[in-house]
A and B are shown apart, each in its own frame.
Chain A
């Protein structure tokens, strides 16, 4: 079965007094991988569970292709799902787990085992097919869960924080593998995570959610460089918030005047939103405008935390080779590398 596009239209869901989804709209194109990113309780998992049919929306509709599945029970939605907790069936072997969806679709034993082995081969676990799931590591179990979700060729693949329970290195490897598989199979995928690095690394587009609404959905690059709101700006990546004053559409940052990019009707006192990599720190005792608090070495780059005389904390990300003399306590000059900065009301 080929992949379809997924549309959520005006979906609302409440749990008692808590609004989990508020007129939520989302469209995932055919073969696209869209991540929903947001803090705990923002509604991202609820959105995914509504798509899967594991929660029923109070209002709105869910469409796959041109088919409205709002009232379709979960087992008839033809969606593969990978959960945070591995959720493999402990009474079945690895191959039986992968073939489970095909067994439910009454595919003959020969064909479903053949398909299971194909999928296990894709995730590099064909040699483990006769083992039980408890005999596998966490990363292997999640690979089996991925194979199980893809074995019956779902129209949509749903990933509910599938990497959260894994070790750092395994997470990185598995997320690359998920992306590779998703691209090769062309499966429309909705991926829920609270880890922005994960979301940015493998998604075609990332939707940032807050309080049950989608604040912004865009490519990782656009989301990082052109955040639509103050929330997105501070949630995605690290963002310095530096007090400034708008005069004639310009703001003065570290002594230089730059263009203020407004998101609304910002006037007067504002906060300039500046990424750490847009600020450079120069050791200069004569015309200093800040003092180094800490320097964190992170391999190729270093994170320098400084404090300006008015008490503002400023982070700068620089290549490690140019930070040798930026010792804690030293007087420095902060310089802005960009010609324009985003501003938000103070």
Chain B
């Protein structure tokens, strides 16, 4: 089959790629420099790996992000399924509420959390995943919304229920697999957003990978960039893992 070249689309894609990749390539080039010796080397990467805190913070941020993903899916998938099925008049209201994290400044959000949360919650790092969930809500909500809008949700759930599936099994065995690409998108967005969240974490006086990178950058900027480059690989690996765990099954029209 001859591939037709869509010139405006190709130009847009090239410009967009340049916009995304030039800073990354530049940062990578910068992180490979070896001051004093000249030329390039892996010195900064070796230094980062040898830093004992590197692994500690990457694991800490990793499980916090993973927990955020779990909270997001457990709260959002059943709630949104119910909203879509019930034809409820509160759906536009919930749509609006889900956008609030975009307009409320993080500083106000952090202060609000500090004032309203009881002390035992504030003393636990477990408060972060719940707050990250709120920050990721606008993106996670819209991604799942698109997924649920694209399937005959009512008929599928009724078919599953009449065949003997209760609500939980209907969600797990039918809805989530059918909107898999939306779920994978939600997982990726929420994980990446939680892993890189900085402002709220600092304001609440917690240390995670992004705050540690900032700390390291104060004494070794090249090392900090090397660490950031390595941290870019993690969401990529997570995305690949999620996609592999749930193999793609075509749900296209008849061929």
Contacts from A to B (Cβ < 8 Å): 52-54, 73-81, 83, 85, 87-91, 100-101, 103-105, 132, 134-137, 145, 148-149, 152, 158
Contact = CB atoms under 8 A, between A and B. Distances in A.
B156 interface: yes
A100 B160 contact: yes
Contacts of A77: 162
Q: Which of A53, A75, A83, A158 gathers most chain B CB within 10 Å?
A: A75
B155 A91 contact: no
A81 B164 CA distance: 11
A17 B160 CA distance: 30
Contacts of A149: 162-163
Given A75-B161, A137-B254, 4 more contacts: A75-B162, A80-B162, A89-B160, A136-B254
Contacts of A137: 254
A145 to B, nearest CB: 8
A103 B161 CA distance: 13
B142 to A, nearest CB: 22
B164 A78 contact: yes
Contacts of A75: 161-166
- Among all A-B residue pairs, the 7 with the closest Cβ atoms: A104-B164, A101-B163, A87-B159, A81-B162, A91-B177, A90-B251, A87-B155
B253 A134 contact: yes
Number of chain B interface residues as a range:
20 to 34
Given A85-B152, A85-B155, A136-B254, A91 B249 contact: yes
Contacts, number: 86
B162 A132 contact: no
B84 to A, nearest CB: 16
A88 B156 CA distance: 7
A90 B162 contact: no
A185 B173 CA distance: 29
B156 A87 contact: yes
20 contacts: A73-B166, A75-B166, A76-B164, A80-B163, A81-B162, A83-B159, A85-B155, A87-B158, A89-B156, A89-B159, A89-B160, A89-B178, A90-B151, A90-B251, A91-B177, A100-B160, A104-B165, A134-B254, A137-B254, A158-B162
B161 A74 contact: yes
A243 to B, nearest CB: 47
B218 interface: no
A73 B164 CA distance: 10
B164 A101 contact: yes
A151 to B, nearest CB: 9
A134 B178 contact: no
Nearest to B253: A134
Contacts of A54: 158, 161-162
A89 B174 contact: yes
A109 to B, nearest CB: 14
B250 interface: yes
A65 B117 CA distance: 56
A148 B165 CA distance: 13
